[in-house]
């Protein structure tokens, strides 16, 4: 019986406290607002690269553009996101 209590405690301790959950939600909202400021294809490329984990080559193939163009898109998009989040 004590092992089930220990397991329940372990599960509960992994859950974020309400303050951490609120901060995380707030940050997610800020990121989403900043993503909306990007051109749609650039925002999609950022999500595919940094959320889905696609490589530069996979993105270049997907968009049918040179790999250096993808690198430029991502670099400029990240700079715009950083600037937006810093406001």
Q: Which DSSP letter does residue 21 get?
A: H
Q: Burial code of 7-43, b = ≥16 C-beta within 10 A, e = fewer? A: eeeeeeeeeeeeeeeeeeeeeeeeeeebbeebeeebb
Average pLDDT, integer, range 6-26: 58
**How far apart, in whole angstroms, are the C-alpha atoms of residue 48 and residue 41?**
10
What global pTM score does this model have? 0.67
pLDDT of residue 31: 87
CATH code: domain of residue 11: 1.10.10.10
Domain that holds residue 26: 2-86
pLDDT in tens, 53-75: 999 999 999 999 999 999 999 99
**Tally of structural domains, the chain:** 1
């Amino acid at each position: 019986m004590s092992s089930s209590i220990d397991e329940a405690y372990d599960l509960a301790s992994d859950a974020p406290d309400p303050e951490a959950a609120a901060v995380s939600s707030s940050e997610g909202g800020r990121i989403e607002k900043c993503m909306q400021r990007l051109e749609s294809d650039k925002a999609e490329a950022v999500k595919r690269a940094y959320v889905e984990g696609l490589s530069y080559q996979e993105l270049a193939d997907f968009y049918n553009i040179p790999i250096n163009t993808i690198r430029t898109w991502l670099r400029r998009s990240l700079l715009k996101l950083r600037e937006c989040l810093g406001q």
